[in-house]
Amino acid sequence: MERALIVIDVQNEYVTGRLPISHPNLDVSLPNIGQAMDAAQAHDVPIVVTQDTGAADDPIFAEGSDNWRLHEVVARRPRHHLVRKPLPGAFTGTDLDLWLRQHSIDTVSLAGYMSHHCIDTTARQALHAGFAVEILADATGTLALDNDGGTVSARQLHEVTLAVMHSRFAAVTTTNQWVAALASTTPLPHGNLLESVT
């Protein structure tokens, strides 16, 4: 098994911008993202960082703006590859698939923001492309939604997304469990749809 840690869109927009992450609290997710990057570096696991990139006049993630920039937890740590992506899925319109295959990666471990949006989309894309997927539950997060489709709290949205992911798409784990697994070549377990149905 050859892992890569993909750190998705840990940008100021989610910390001091218009989309503040609220569950898990940033005091939880940001240190865990840093811990995962440090552990990956120590175990020679390649680190890919993605950056949501919009047009200069977009209301969020406007290229060149302070909120578009990577948060310092990620910006000050080493990485092996940077992917600037135009859409939620990290595989769409980028060289991520090619880069992973060139480096013989078969398992992608996802951390970053948001669990229901770019993490969810990237996990589905990765599975469909033939990669095994892991999600570090406490190294990601989301926010509450209220629109014509419905209203959901950040906690509900985070938990529902991860339950769906673990039922088929990914092994959902904690940062500490993931770090412990780096010393082993055994894949982290995930559930399946039949086991998940109550």
Question: What pLDDT was estimated at residue 190?
Answer: 76
DSSP state of 183: T
Report the candidate in 136, 117, 120, 139 with the shortest Cα–Cα distance to residue 128: 120
Q: Cα(116)–Cα(120) distance, rounded to whole angstroms?
A: 5
Express each pLDDT in 134-157 by its tens digit: 999 999 999 999 999 999 999 999
Higher pLDDT, 155 or 186: 155
Cβ atoms of 72 and 66 within 8 Å: the answer is: no
Cβ atoms of 84 and 50 within 8 Å: the answer is: yes
Report the candidate in 129, 196, 122, 117 with the shortest Cα–Cα distance to residue 161: 117
Q: Cα(36)–Cα(56) distance, rounded to whole angstroms?
A: 31
pLDDT at 45 over 90: yes
Express each pLDDT in 74-110 by its tens digit: 999 999 999 999 999 999 999 999 999 999 999 999 9
What mean pLDDT do residues 114-136 have? 98
What's the pTM value of the predicted model, to 2 decimals? Answer: 0.95
Express each pLDDT in 159-171 by its tens digit: 999 999 999 999 9
Per-residue confidence band for 193, with pLDDT thresholds at 50, 70 and 90:
low
What mean pLDDT do residues 54-80 have? 97
